[in-house]
Amino acid sequence: MFMKRFLLTTILSATVFWGFAQTEKTYTDDLVVTINDQSTEPQKAEIQVEFLDNNKCNLSLQNFCLGSGDEIIPVGNIVLNDIELTAGEGYQTFDVEQTIMITPGTLPGATEDSWIGPMLGEVPIKMTGKVNDERLYCEIDIDMMATLQQIIKVTFGSDIAASVSGVSVATGKVDVYSVSGVLVRKQVEAASALNGLQRGIYIVGGRKVIKR
């Protein structure tokens, strides 16, 4: 009887421990895709992060597609496992390179053959980012040079530690210009105006902003 109680207590304790050690969180933010220096408009997307007990995490971007509206090219599910997390000031950082198989997604109306990711074979993925309880920011480079002669850059969220110049960022819809006066984006939300753009100085809604 004692042995049964001991085993039951041990199993329950292990269940409680793993329940706290492994937590899963879904982050919703703007996602921008950049191909050949051309960026899409920000679109809402979700990324699931499973935090493991060994200071690592698994990250999943489900049903990733290229394009928008009627011109959507379904790519598939991008999943990276055992990502090492490093403690930062108010967040954790990660920098990982893995070669993965992109699996078919589950969008309504899309058949398994609709997804191009599985047809590409092993795909090198490079990802860097930052995460805390409230926000996730990451940049994902999908190396498709061997098949499509392209590197697809995906930016999710805005840099947690990003800083701007001494003026406050504009709100609402804004135009974004380079410092040389070239229109980069037209009438986008100010909060995500710089998502997917390279580091540098931009004019956002008539105000100078530094993306670091």
Residues 146-157 have pLDDT tens digits of: 887 889 999 999
Angstrom distance (rounded) from CA 112 to CA 185? 35
Q: Tell how many helices (H) and how many strands (E) occur in the chain.
A: 1, 14
Angstrom distance (rounded) from CA 150 to CA 168? 36
Q: Are strands 136-144 and 122-131 parallel, antiparallel or unpaired?
A: antiparallel
* Chain CA centroid to CA 164, Å: 22
Lookup: tokens for 122 = 């092993």
Question: What pTM does this model have?
Answer: 0.67
In the chain, domain spans: 20-160, 162-212
Lookup: tokens for 93 = 């950082």
Mean pLDDT of 180-203: 83
Fold classification of 20-160 (topology level): Lipocalin (2.40.128)
User: pLDDT for 164-178, tens place per residue?
Assistant: 443 345 567 888 888
User: pLDDT for 125-140, tens place per residue?
Assistant: 999 999 998 899 999 9
Angstrom distance (rounded) from CA 57 to CA 22? 9
